[in-house]
Amino acid sequence: MFSSLSDRLTATFKNLRGKGRLSEADVDATVREIRRALLDADVALPVVKQFTAAVRERALSDEVSGALNPAQQVVKIVNDQLVEILGGQSRRLQFAKNPPTVIMLAGLQGSGKTTLAGKLGKWLNGQGHKPLLVACDLQRPNAVNQLQVVGQRAGVQVFAPEPGNGVGDPVAVARAGVAEAVSRQHDIVIVDTAGRLGIDAELMQQATDIRDAVSPDEVLFVIDAMIGQDAVQTAQAFADGVDFTGVVLSKLDGDARGGAALSVAQVTQRPVMFASTGEGLDDFEPFHPDRMASRILDMGDVLTLIEQAEKAFDNKDAEALASKLEGGEDFDLNDFLTQMASLRNMGSIKKMIAMMPGAAQMREQLEAFDEREVDRVEAIVRSMTPHERTNPKILNGSRRSRIARGSGMTVTDVNQLMERFSQAQKMMRQMRSGKGMPNMPGMGG
């Protein structure tokens, strides 16, 4: 996500490090670098101009000359400006006073609307809502079916036109969908609409007609972050044509430069509300401008990381483990396996690590990191007998070579795993003896 922009900006700041004072020439050189980095990342020219002018002005002010660490102050300024172009404050979904809340999705074909309907549905469902997805994309062959499949995977109901009944009239389907939601007590309706490959008048008219028919509380404009400079034009056309209340950046997982997407909020003056980061239904997160700016500047996004960890980590497992440890029992290989399984729930481990401060410097190692490692650990532990798992101490040489054979690993793999396990066990014992989490700064209390 924005990795090349991130690399360029952090490299620029490195040149400033250690400078006690910044001359005007230093500031100009830095601003020039930032300007190039933004342009190379496809950020729209007017946005770049505004951005660099603001950075330059603040970097030459007392704010920096009076700062203890001028270089750090410049990073802070760039951070502030990034937050600003990304829309400032995070903005939450607006719910209707009288349900159902209607959320309409608009955007070009292939931008990720149908996928988003599923993601949004699943996410809202998880928060105790009862969303209904309404299939108004009657243009693209198979779109209705695709929404039904997505809905099923997301565990969310889908309203689709009966074949031969109202087919061809998306406005009627949208109306009927909302009526259905009322009668079946859904509190949220998500209306998926048709897109085209390019902007055209008919498409805009259809979207506008649907909007007028269902008066949505939110119109979310979905934009593929990989489409480059066209993003700004497309966004402007949708802003003028249908108007929208928020932006969803999709395909942020791609390694495209993504900068055009950064311009959309600024150009249309509408906030980015969500980010889609993959094809899976969980590859989705509410968008927080401040956190995204931190990620771009490689300062990490620890808050999102913690949220995802909380979501993935089953509290029941954690409570069971806590009461077991409190009861004086030792942390065993079954617990270790449960913990590994929860790691897998966190989705891509790489994605998680990428949110940690300094991740950009680790990118190479990250690329080399193999998620199949989790599979290997599972294979080894599952090759042990239940007795061995609860009594790891009995794992002598011959047992280890049997386990290695059983799991298709080498004895060295088994030994390495046991080494890691005993470290984890030691940590658990320390926690039990009230010393708190070792090696976890900032977790005091």
Binding site per annotation, positions: 107-114, 192-196, 250-253
Inter-residue contact 294 to 282 (CB < 8 Å): no
**Using an 8 Å Cβ cutoff, are 170 and 105 in contact?**
no
Residue 20: how many CA atoms within 13 Å on its side-chain side?
0
Output 368-377 pairs: Cβ under 8 A, ≥24 positions apart: 374/340, 374/343, 374/344, 374/349, 376/407, 376/409, 376/413, 377/337, 377/340, 377/417
CB nearer to ligand GDP: pick between 147 and 293:
147
Helices in 191-258 by DSSP H: which ranges? 201-214, 230-241
Stretch that binds ligand GDP, among 69-77, 183-191, 274-282, 435-443 (CB under 6 A): 274-282
- Contact code string over 102-131 relative to ligand GDP, x by CB under 6 A: -----x-xxxxxxx----------------
- Per-residue buried b or exposed e for 53-83, using 16+ beta carbons within 10 Å of the residue's own CB: ebbbebbbeeebeeeeebbebbbbbbbebbb
Shortest Å distance, C-beta 134 to ligand GDP: 13
DSSP 256-267: S--HHHHHHHHH
Shortest separation between residue 65's beta carbon and ligand GDP, angstroms:
43
Encoded tokens for 411: 């004895």
Distance in angstroms (rounded) separating the CA atoms of residues 224 and 226: 5
The annotation places the binding site for GTP at: 107-114, 192-196, 250-253
Span from 167-175, 251-259, 359-367, 391-399 in contact with ligand GDP (CB under 6 A): 251-259
Which residues pair with residue 134 across a beta bridge?
159, 191
Nearer to ligand GDP, 226 or 409 (CB): 226
Distance CA 345, CA 311 (A): 9
Q: Residues in contact with ligand GDP, total (CB under 6 A)?
A: 18
81 near ligand GDP, rule: CB under 6 A: no
286 touches ligand GDP (CB under 6 A)? no
Letters for 195-214 (x = contact with ligand GDP by CB under 6 A, - = none) are x-------------------
Give 147's contacts (C-beta < 8 A, 6+ positions apart): 114, 117, 118, 133, 135, 137, 158, 160, 192
| 347 contacts ligand GDP (rule: CB under 6 A) | no
CB atoms within 10 A of CB 295: 24
Nearer to ligand GDP by Cβ, of 70 and 118: the residue is 118
Interatomic CA distance for residues 311 and 127, integer angstroms: 12
Least distance CB 168 / ligand GDP (angstroms): 18
Per rule CB under 6 A, is residue 251 in the interface with ligand GDP?
Answer: yes
| Position 253 contacts ligand GDP (CB under 6 A) | yes
Q: Please check whether residue 106 is in contact with residue 220, taking contact to mean a CB–CB distance below 8 angstroms.
A: yes
For the CB of residue 82, give the shortest distance to ligand GDP in the complex, in Å: 21
Of residues 123-182, those binding ligand GDP (CB under 6 A): none
From the CB of 216, what's the least distance to ligand GDP, in Å? 17
CB of 32 to ligand GDP, least distance (A): 33
Which of 6, 206, 250, 407: binder of ligand GDP (CB under 6 A)? 250
Residues that bind ligand GDP (CB under 6 A): 107, 109-115, 195, 250-251, 253-254, 276-279, 283
